[in-house]
Structure 1
């Protein structure tokens, strides 16, 4: 299981302003990822949360960039891309991943990487944070972003 050995990244993020940007494809999986993010936010005492739905995973970077530039302390990107029979999977995965990384580096705002890239729907369901799932990637992405925010706010000028 890929989640073995995961660190405890829970922090008190009282006062943080967070945007959760979630793609619209694969409703059941996305509902699980969003619920996991919401659980992590509640457990971290975050009350200022905005949920935005993106058309798909390819659009996550531009929406994350817009919310990062609006002064949000952290942005959580949630999506799922399931391999099909064409190279489309490879292009969308690379573009979304590279774009989200660029947003974080260009803005200095932590971006929670909750983008599932799986070979089939069963793998995605197993990572979606649903009652029968083995992993909760929505929660993990949120905890990683909040933990990074917690570290960055100790710096005198953390934004790029």
Structure 2
């Protein structure tokens, strides 16, 4: 785990943004921490037009994100999940599907997605990134910050016609 080198993000005034947090349900304690961190970031930024969508696991994050982004329901998304390595290749397939799927949704729709999917070898590593008491990192907060900052940046870019 790096834990160093993270930029200081200041999205500016994003109070008008509509934001959805799409969160997996597997690894409940980790997910509760990630979700709390993302919502705390949205609170601090003054984002009031927001909602949470829960899906079973990280594999299902892209399809929910795609529906919201394609319908233009939101200006930004925060995707939260936790995939913990086991004894089979399942870990690799789920991590790749979530990463590639979310990237595809963001690029194809232009709706930024803060990537808060933990891909860890152990439960302890996930807990250390979940923003819980005693955690060294708060990846849910960071993912929401990235989504807000990117949405603000895109909003300010000139549009070619």
User: Smaller-chain TM-score range?
Assistant: over 0.9
Aligned to 1:111: 113
Distance 1:47 1:131 in 2: 26
1:57-96 residue pairs with structure 2 within 5 A? 57-71=58-72, 72-96=74-98
Scaled by the length of structure 2, the TM-score of the pair is: 0.95
Aligned to 1:125: 127
Distance 1:10 1:65 in 2: 26
Distance 1:69 1:104 in 2: 10
Structure 2 spans left out of the alignment, 5+ residues: none
Distance 2:5 2:81 in 1: 23
Distance 1:140 1:70 in 2: 25
Aligned to 2:102: 100
Distance 1:46 1:157 in 2: 24
Distance 1:94 1:109 in 2: 20
Distance 1:137 1:10 in 2: 16
Scaled by the length of structure 1, the TM-score of the pair is: 0.95
Structure 1 spans left out of the alignment, 5+ residues: none
Q: Secondary structure in 1 aligned to 2:82?
A: strand
Structure 1 position 13 matched with structure 2 position 17: no
Distance 1:39 1:10 in 2: 15
Q: Secondary structure in 1 aligned to 2:149?
A: helix
Q: Deviations over 1:109-159 (max 9, x none)?
A: 00010000000000000000001100000001110111000110012438x
Q: Secondary structure in 2 aligned to 1:129?
A: coil
Q: How many residues align?
A: 158
Deviation at 1:8, TM superposition (A): 1.2
